[in-house]
A and B are shown apart, each in its own frame.
Chain A
Amino acid sequence: MTDLVAVPRLQREGLTYRILLRAIAGFAILLLLAPIVVVLLVSLTSGLALKFPPPGFSLRWYAALFDSAQSRPIQRAALHSFEIAVSATVVAAVLGTMAALAIGRSRSAWARALDILFVMPLVVPSLAYGLAALMYFTLLGFGGSLPLIVIGHVIIVVPFIIRTTSAGLSQLDANLLDSSASLGAGAFFTFRRVTLPIIAPGIAAGAFIGFMASFDNVPVSLFLSDARTEVLPMRMWGMLQTNLDVRTAAVSGLITITALTLLMVMDRLFGLDRQLR
Chain B
Amino acid sequence: MRFASDGFGWKITAYTILLGVKTVIVTSFLSYPVALLYLGGGRLLRRFLLAVIILPLLIGTVVQTFAWVVILGDQGPINNLASWLGLISSPIRLLNNEASLVVQLAQSEMAIMVLALLTVLLRVDPFLLEASTSLGAGPWRTLFRIIMPLSMPGFAAGAIIVFAGAVSAYFSQAIIGGGRLVYLPQYMNNQVSVLFNWPFGAALAVVFTLAVLATITMFALVTRRSAAYVHD
Contacts and interface: CB of A to CB of B under 8 A. Distances in A.
Contact of B59 (A10, A36, A125, A127): A36
B90 interface: no
B12 interface: no
Nearest to B47: A273
Interface string A1-45: 000001001100110011001101101110111111011001000
A51 B75 contact: yes
Contacts of A240: 66, 69, 175
B64 A13 contact: no
B30 interface: yes
Nearest to B49: A29
Contact of A123 (B60, B115, B213): B213
Contacts of A209: 57
B36 A25 contact: yes
Given A212-B60, A237-B171, A27 B201 contact: no
B138 interface: yes
A214 to B, nearest CB: 10
A256 B30 contact: no
A75 interface: no
Contact of B106 (A31, A128, A233, A267): A31
A157 to B, nearest CB: 14
Contacts of A237: 62, 171, 175
A49 interface: yes
Interface in B179-193: 184-185, 188-189, 192-193
B60 A216 contact: yes
Interface in B62-83: 62-64, 66-71, 73, 75-77, 80
B221 interface: no
Contacts of A244: 69
Contacts of B43: 273
A32 B66 contact: no
Interface string A237-277: 10010001000110010011001101100010000110011
A223 interface: yes
Main secondary structure, interface of B, reads helix
B171 A31 contact: no
B66 A272 contact: no
Interface in A45-100: 49-53
A132 interface: yes
A52 B75 contact: yes
B51 A263 contact: yes
Interface residues of B, number: 75
B60 A215 contact: yes
A223 to B, nearest CB: 7
A252 B209 CA distance: 31
A36 B55 contact: yes
A31 B205 contact: no
Contacts of A33: 52
Contact of B209 (A18, A124, A134): A124
A131 B107 contact: no
B109 to A, nearest CB: 11
Contacts of B119: 276
Given A35-B107, A215-B60, 5 more contacts: A10-B136, A17-B140, A21-B37, A24-B33, A34-B71
Interface of A: 6, 9-10, 13-14, 17-18, 21-22, 24-25, 27-29, 31-36, 38-39, 42, 49-53, 122-128, 131-132, 134-135, 209, 212, 215-216, 218-219, 222-223, 232-233, 236-237, 240, 244, 248-249, 252, 255-256, 259-260, 262-263, 267, 272-273, 276-277
Interface of B: 29-31, 33-34, 36-37, 43, 46-47, 49-64, 66-71, 73, 75-77, 80, 103, 106-107, 110-111, 115, 118-119, 122, 136, 138-140, 143, 160-161, 164, 167-168, 170-171, 175, 184-185, 188-189, 192-193, 198, 201-202, 205-206, 208-209, 212-213, 216
